[in-house]
Structure formats: structure tokens, C-alpha cells
Chain A
Amino acid sequence: MTLSEEELAEELTEGPPPAVPSRARVVAGRFFRSAQGRVGFTVLALMFLLAFAGPLFSPWTYTDKDFTAFMQPPSARHWFGTLQTGSDVFAVTLRGMQKSLVVGLLAALVSTALAAVVGAFAGYFLGWTDRALSWVTDLLLVLPAFLILAILSPLFGPGQWPLFVVMLALFLWMVTSKIVRGMTVSLKEREFIQAARYMGVPPVRIIFRHVLPNLSSLLIVDATLNVSSAILTETSLSYFGFGIQPPDVSFGTLIADGSKTAIYAPWTFWFVAGLLVVTVLAVNLVGDALRDAFDPSSSRKGPR
């Protein structure tokens, strides 16, 4: 373009500033334009709505027992049927979903965030930061996670679920963190990181603005997988009687109980299991769509 055209263009820019096309806005736009993203997000939102607003419409709470109906199939009175104790399956399933959704999603987010931050700091700063963080990572890797969670489980009394989330997350992040560290070391040499450094961008901001977004594919896949593994770990802990303690319930306790009666009373098992599958599926859809939205090259598959 010649100089005159540049100057012309310069004058044309006088006007109301256009909408600022920053990364967050573009990524959000791309996320909601994809069918996957919309479906996944809607399903996940519906699940939350169901878990937290659903109990308001049910005449039963998860602690109520109907002593006139044990082990009854779904009916107008008990939408999902009842358990052997007379509990309403609809009420306990929703209660369990509240716990599992919150625990699963939060544990996954916390563990991936931890992995990203520890790995990126170790890889970016190297030296003593790297050594110290690597020691911690290695230490946690060799500790038997299940045993420790089991030992600590008496602490997870009622109202202590945030602690449970932290403990779950604490044993999920190490391997990802090692991968992130390695990728950061190679990313650090790239010219755009150098460019940011020479511009005077502080290192911590470089990590959050340049390093982590460029690892977003890895991190999102990791977080998606972690949601299912956090729900499943919680499930298996609860199955063995650790984790969520009665009278509170979670998907884990419900599936554990339901699997015993699944053959002759399918409603005790299949509603819970179905909701778990739908949740994990929705999370995966959201993860996929988010990864595509972050990756600028994903929407153009054909030759340019």
C-alpha cells in the first residue's frame, strides 16, 4: 500500500471506536457459534438447574422417608420411585448431583489450574524455582493418593466439602504439571515470548497471557478428563465409605447402593447412572468446543 493510501486510511479511523475484538470476546463468540459448545453448555446449565432448582418442586427432601412406600417403582407420588429405606429417589439423586457436580467440576478446575501454574512457573523461571516445584511434584507423585484420602476422610464431615475438593485436586495435577513444564521450556524460546519480554511485560503476566493460552488445548483436554476422574474418584471413595458421609449422599454412594438392587429395581440405579453419563458427556462437549474456540486454526480445515 502506498503512503497516500495509508494517510487516507488514517483519516478514516476518526469515528466511534469499534467494538474491541479482544481475545476473550473472540473466543466466547467462537465457542457459542459451534453447535457442540451450545449443546454442551445448555445441557450442563440444565443439569445445574435441575440439581439446585429441582428439589424445590419435589414434595420430598433427601432426608425424608416415606414409610408407606419401600422399593416402589416410579409413580406420580414418587417420580423416580423409592429406595429400600423409603427415600424418594428423585430427591436423593438431585442431592447427589449437587455434590458431584460441584465436587467434580471444582476439583477438575483446581487441579488443572494448579498443574498449569506450577508447571509454567517451573518451566519459565527454571533454576531454583524449578527445582523446588519439581520436588513438591515428585513427592506428591510417590504418595499413595487413595490411602491418604482414605485416612483423611474423617475430616470430611458435613459442610467440609471444599476441603474434599482440595484434597481430590491435590492428587490429580502432577503428571499434567510435568507436561506443562516441558512445553513451557520450549515455548519460552519462541520469538513472541521474547518480543513480550523486550516490550517490558512482567514475567508473571507473560506466563498468564502468552504461555498458558498457548497450552490451552492440553489444559482443556486435561480438565475435561479430570472432571470425570474426580467424579469417579469421589464415587469410588464414597463407595468404600470414605468421602461424602451419610446422611449426605453423592452419585458415588447412590451408585454403590443402587448397583446392589439394580437387577430387580432398576430405578434405584439407572436414573443416577444416566445422569452421570449425561454430565460427563456435556463436560466433554464443552471441553471440545472450548479447545476449538481457543485454537485459531481449528475452524479452517480446508486449504487456504
Chain B
Amino acid sequence: MNPGLPEGAAPGPVLEVSDLHVSFGGVRAVRGVSYSVRPGEVLGIVGESGSGKSVTTAAVMGLLPPGARVTGSVRLHGKELIGAPERVLNSFRGKSVSMVFQDPLSALTPVYRVGDQIAEAVRVHQRVSKETALVKALELLELVGIPRPAERALAFPHEFSGGMRQRVVIAMAIANDPDVIICDEPTTALDVTIQAQVLEVLKRAQAKTGAAIIMITHDLGVVAGFADRVLVMYAGRPVEVGGVDDIYYRARMPYTVGLLGSVPRVDRGGRQPLTPIEGNPPSPAALPPGCPFAPRCPMRIEACDEREPPLFEVGDGHRAACVRWQEVRPGPPAPPGGGPGPLRVRGARTVLAVRHLVKDYPLVKGAVFKRRVGTVQAVAGVSFDLRQGETLGLVGESGSGKTTTLTQILELTPPQEGDIVVLGHDIARLSRAERAEIRRDMQVVFQDPLASLDPRMTVHDILAEPLRTHGRRDPGRRVAELLALVGLDPSHAARYPQDFSGGQRQRIGIARALALEPRLLVLDEPVSALDVSIQAGVINLLDSLKARLGLSYLFVAHDLGVVRYIADRVAVMYLGRIAEIGHVEAVYDRPAHPYTQALLSAIPLPDPVRERSRERILLEGDLPSPANPPTGCRFRTRCPKFRHELTDGERGLCVRIEPEVRPLGADQGAACHYADKREVV
């Protein structure tokens, strides 16, 4: 038995991991992980990329590559799994322990029908006939909420949407009534509203099977509402373990405190700066001698560097690896929302205006004789404007048309329909000189910092490129200035982008965008590829740069927390149209469009108590195909209001007429015939 973990009176642990070590060559990826889960319990394993959380799971499942050295013990129902022969491992994989992966597309075989795949999962471990297995498969599909299971079982994985595929994977995972379900970032690849659905399905699956769930994630919000106990990992070892409330409200490890402080939250208005964790996680090949977190820790003392602190017992079932745990205090409690802040007076100069923008893509079929079989309306009449010194957040799920809108603005080619006016110039009538001027004054920061920096160029050349393009001689000094501006060491200019960490690369991307002192910065998901603790630093940087350099941002993101933090105004897009637009505080505090309400309520908060008491507005189904949008209001097929609140007479209006954005109050407008403000966060 593992002495430090709480001894439940009821059944003993199903899965017990003690002192697990994994090393690849000389690199120690996992250094002493111990935990146990009891039936029906949900254990959240939280950590940033490289913290060893996925390797731990792979070790438990016996799925590590041959080069890995595993020591320690993993016991399932008291049976040792480390060193067990492959035959034994196969008999429990998928039966007693099953897994849900991050990417549901690669977890399903593309050439088999979904129903057959689930039936196969059943037949591997149960001696039943094909027919019985198929019947069981249909039951499972029904359980995970796939409509018309008999019909959908005949479909192939690529015919399913991401959320539906993940449901299928969950169905396969529970096919054999497992005792433990390991979920490795099960919702990371999904949109927020779909994530809420899938989490709901997981809860249902757990209730049905009574299995223990190990939930591996980097999203502190997902764990808050779902887990009973949480294990925080850093540099290959657990640094804090405890009940979910202990971790979130009484954290005793500075890393946990830092992690919680660096999450931008949808429920907090009023711009408190985020507290990023300085520096970068250590490389597992070169760990510092003492506490691995010490180099980044705000509470570091000399004792920290002497040796790695063990897990101290800091409360009932709550352990933390910090020598100063008694002094560690969680961050200040969340101040109450405080209602919509004072509406700022908007700037006078418009830097970007988009009016009734439309962009269609033809759907063509055939290789030799291409014929048009339909039209995808990626953007269908979007209007917004952005004033000097303002940040407009453009949010929406995948397929909402936000990227297309952005591309249309950046391409500087005349739009198919509508107008785009950038910095006072209509882009349909641009002279060569004006185009060059806009290219200088409007810059872009991309989502993936590694992909957007030429891997073959030194940082110096990358930063000098815009300067040279727009005729600035001798860029050396300016490059050093820019690096310093974004908080990097100017002496690193001779390095290549791959020598930097993710956060530093994004800073280089930002420095490049700032090189020409632009007036408008277009940011395409600039922080979504970064870890939480790094993300906070980049957000703070963007915020301070905006104030210092008088920039305007068009900020595209799917993370509503980030947008609330950085934006002044927000536009919520749904299926190529704007559902709601307005001042951030107004839209977040009292959203008027049913879609905005659902979106906001779907976001998990890193606050267990509120998370448990929250009433979610769950959207049903998936985003309709943009090739064949519903008549009238585009949201009506998934609209909870349309389904449950409106009378048949009222619904007629939604079916017939597509609503335009109508103003509702000082700076807020929603495209709904029956908009009405509600608090949801």
C-alpha cells in the first residue's frame, strides 16, 4: 500500500502505481510517480508539455518503445504489470484498462466501419457471436449519444465530426466494462461546446461502468469540474497531490500556485495582470541539482538548490514537494465580477472597417472535368470595425469563418462582396504605393511560432527582413532593440528559431511584427500553441506593448478566457456570421445571443466549487455544414432557445428570416430575433 494516500474505507484501489521511473537512454523522463485510484474515482493528472504525464500513462499501459527503462511497480487489482509478459498485458489492455486518446481520428482505423470497430473491441475480450457484438456496439453508440446509432454504425470514421469520433472512441473504451479508463487529453483537439458534450458523455460512461478515470490534461478548468483528486506533475515527478479543493484553494507548491495564477479566466473582468511563471521548464536531460522548479520559483531560498524536496504531508491526503510549503499561499481569491466596467470612450480613428464581407468557396467534383457541385459560404456577411488603440477579439469555433475573414483582410485583394477598409484605404482600389504602405502598417502574428519563422534563417535575418523590405538600411541596432523589447537577449540574434522554446519563438514572431512600428497588428491565435505558464507571459507582453506603442489589435482566438483578458471589444462568430458583438465586459457578463450564452457556459472554470454548482447550457449536435446552412437563423438547428422556449409562431420568424446584428444597449449587439441578456459565467 502506498502510505501517503488517503485510505478509503470502501474498496481498495484498482490501480496502484508506486515509485515509477522511466528513462530513455540517459534521460529520466519520469522520476518517481506514485498514485492509486479507487473504483469510481476520478484522478486528474495536470502538467505542462514535457512534464512526463503522457509517458507515465504509456508506462502503465506497457506501451513504451523498447528503448525505455521502466522501474517501480504498477499493480492492477494487486497484480504486478511491470515486467509482465506481452500476453498478460494484452489480456488486460482494453478490458480492465482502456484508453481514450487525444486525436480521435488516428485512434480509429479509417478503412473499417465504426460499428465493426466497436464490435471488434467487444469480441477481442468476450466470446460472443458477431451479431451479439454488433448489438452491443449499437447499445454503446446510443449510450455515448450518437443519434440514429443503427444508421451511423455503418459509417466510416471520416464521415464523423471530431466530437462524434471522440464519442466513438469512448464507446470503444467502455465496451468491456473496464475498471480504469485512462483519458489522455481527451478534449484538447475539440471545440469548447463539443468539449462540454464529450465531458458529459465521459461522466455518463463512468456512471454506467463504475470505472475509475485517470484524466490527463493541461487544462486546469477541465479537471476542476471533473476530478476528485489531482496530481500536479513537473519535470517528471509529482509536485503536489491532493483533493481537488485542496489543490485549487489551498495549494502549497509555488508551481501549482503559479499555474493557477497564469490562467486567463472568463469569469474575471477588470484586467488584473496575469502572473506568468518566469523562465521555461527544465530539459529532462539537464535537471538542476535541487528542486527542479527552483530556477523559476519566486520563493526560492538556498535550501532549494541543495537537494530535491520530498513530498511533505501538508494536510489530510494532501502532499506537496516544497520545503517552504508552510509559507506558500494561494493567489488572492477571485474578486467578484463587479458588473460591466465603465464603458470606455472608443477612439475616433477607425483603423480597420469590414462591411458585409462575403467569401464563398466552390465545391468541385471530378478530376478531369471539374464541375461545381455546391458552394461553401465561409464568410456570409460580416461587419465590424476597429478603432485606434483598441483590441477586437474575434472568437468562434472551428468552421466559424474567423480565419477566412482574417485571410481576406491580409491578402489585400478585392473581396468577393462587401468592403474592407484598412487604415483609411479601401482595398478594392489600392495603388501600388498604398499597398506597400498598408503592408508596412499592418503586421501579423501567427499561431504556430515555429511554422511562421523560416527555419533556415537566423533570428537576425528574420527580424531584419521586414526592415530591409521596406528600405531600412543597417538593421543591426534595430534588431537588438526589438529583441530587448520582447524580453529576449539581443546576443541571441545569431541563433536559429529551433534553438528557442515555444514562448520565446512567439516573442520573436511578435518582434518581427513590431519591426516596422505598425499601427495595426493582426494576431491569429497567438498563444494557443503555448503552455499556460508561458502563455501568460506572452499575453502580458502583448498587453504592455499595446499600451506603450499605441497599437490596435485584431485578435483571433478560440479561447474565450484569453480574449476576455486582452480585448476591449469582442465579436462572436458562428457559421460565417457574427452572432454577437460588443464591449467585452458587456458580452461576457450579460450575453444576449443564445450561442454566446452556450459558448460561455461551456468553458470550464478552474474553480471546483463554482464548476460543480454551474448550470451548463449544452448545445446539441455539431456545427451544420457551411455548404448547406440552415434557412433563416443559422443557429436555430442547435439553439436551446428555439427548441425549448419559443412557441411555434415565434419559431417561424427564425426559420424564415436571417437576423441581422441589432444594437442592445450601449456597446452590444446580437443577431437574434429574441435576444435577451442572461448571466451565464
Contacts and interface: CB of A to CB of B under 8 A. Distances in A.
B484 A213 contact: no
Interface residues of B, number: 53
Among B454, B469, B485, B544, chain A packs the most CB atoms within 10 A around the CB of: B454
A195 B443 CA distance: 9
Contacts, number: 117
B614 to A, nearest CB: 34
26 contacts: A6-B484, A6-B485, A9-B484, A9-B487, A10-B485, A13-B477, A17-B474, A18-B493, A21-B458, A21-B494, A191-B446, A191-B447, A191-B451, A192-B453, A196-B465, A198-B439, A199-B465, A199-B512, A201-B469, A209-B465, A214-B454, A295-B456, A297-B498, A303-B24, A303-B25, A303-B283
Given A3-B544, A13-B490, A198 B484 contact: no
Residue among A1, A12, A295 facing the most chain B CB atoms (10 A cut-off): A1
A230 to B, nearest CB: 27
A interface: dominant SS: helix
A20 B487 contact: no
Interface string B149-182: 0000000000000000000000000000000000
Nearest to B453: A192
Contacts of A12: 484
A31 to B, nearest CB: 14
A192 B493 contact: no
Best-surrounded residue of B27, B283, B435, B456 (most CB of chain A within 10 A): B456
Contact of B460 (A5, A22, A201): A22
A301 interface: no
Contacts of A17: 474, 476-477, 480
B25 A21 contact: no
A296 B456 contact: yes
A23 B455 contact: no
Interface in A14-59: 17-18, 20-23, 26
A297 B446 CA distance: 22
Nearest to A295: B456
Main secondary structure of the interface of B (DSSP, over half): helix
Contacts of A304: 283, 285
Contacts of A210: 454, 456-457
Give the 4 A-B residue pairs with the shortest CB-CB distance, closest first: A200-B439, A21-B494, A1-B487, A296-B496
A61 interface: no
B436 interface: yes
Contacts of A198: 410, 439, 442-444
Interface in A140-194: 190-192, 194
Nearest to B285: A303
A13 B469 CA distance: 24
Contact of A199 (B283, B466, B481, B491): B466
B487 A201 contact: no
A216 interface: yes
A210 B451 CA distance: 13
Given A17-B476, A191-B452, A195-B444, 20 more contacts: A1-B537, A6-B484, A6-B486, A10-B485, A13-B477, A13-B490, A17-B474, A18-B480, A18-B493, A21-B458, A23-B458, A192-B453, A195-B446, A201-B469, A213-B457, A214-B456, A296-B455, A296-B456, A303-B27, A303-B283
A198 B443 CA distance: 7
Interface string B455-473: 1111011001110011000
Contacts of B443: 198-199
Nearest to A195: B452
Given A21-B460, A199-B439, A10 B484 contact: yes
A51 B324 CA distance: 75
Interface residues of A, number: 38
A21 B493 CA distance: 7
B120 interface: no
Given A18-B491, A296-B498, A297-B498, A23 B461 contact: yes
Contact of B494 (A5, A26, A191): A26
A294 interface: yes
A26 B261 CA distance: 41
Contacts of A9: 484, 487, 489-490
Q: Which of A200, A216, A294: most chain B Cβ within 10 A?
A: A200
A191 B487 contact: no
Query: Most A CB atoms within 10 A — which of B453, B477, B486, B489?
Result: B477
A18 to B, nearest CB: 7
Interface string A289-304: 0000011110000011
B382 to A, nearest CB: 20
Contacts of B452: 191-192, 194-195
A22 B27 CA distance: 34
B448 interface: yes
B493 A190 contact: no
Given A191-B448, A192-B453, A18 B476 contact: yes
A216 B455 CA distance: 12
Contact of B451 (A2, A21, A192, A213): A192
B278 interface: yes
A194 B469 CA distance: 15
B440 interface: yes
